[in-house]
Chains A and B, each alone.
Chain A
Amino acid sequence: QSALTQPASVSGSPGQSITISCTGTSSDVGHYNYVSWHQQYPGKAPKLIIYGVNNRPSGVSDRFSGSKSGNTASLTISGLQADDEADYFCSSYTTTYIYIFGPGTKVTVL
């Protein structure tokens, strides 16, 4: 099972919106609504920010939103803030009962 595809980096100015894509196949992203997104700061454990494509855990800012179309899921961060600068990983459940991740996207706030 191949990894998901994400852009290596995305940048934006404070207050802007950015979108990170996560592309899989019909055996993972396209098959299930089980895409999640994690935010990770250097040296820290990942933090869940989106699960089930577009659900936010309690306590996560509503500036984070998720969506999916076909085999591609997306994470949008609106009203970009300095502390949004981090790595973002997508993951998906697959038809072979395993989980796969994307390589991560580094978000830079200009």
Chain B
Amino acid sequence: GQQVMQIPQYQHVQEGEDFTTYCNSSTTLSNIQWYKQRPGGHPVFLIQLVKSGEVKKQKRLTFQFGEAKKNSSLHITATQTTDVGTYFCAGGNNQGGKLIFGQGTELSVKP
């Protein structure tokens, strides 16, 4: 079945450093979504990418969808302590609301 792999599992950075998490799917995706989960909280939607090669930005966050629509990345510039949490990618393949999540990358930021 479809698998979505995400690396790294953990990332510890000093405040102000950049951060990137990568997501790879075993199959071509129709769309990819990114979520953030704060410690003790629930996942919260950040963004959806649908087009091959698409790049979207949200302030310090940059999201990319690969040309083959099988990989994606999230880059945070100049991390802040408010960026702490676990970031998940989730791949969709046009099967209604069915999403397959990656394992997540837990980001910790040292002030």
Asked if A and B are interacting partners, one says no
User: Hey, which bits of chain A sit against chain B, CB under 8 A?
Assistant: none
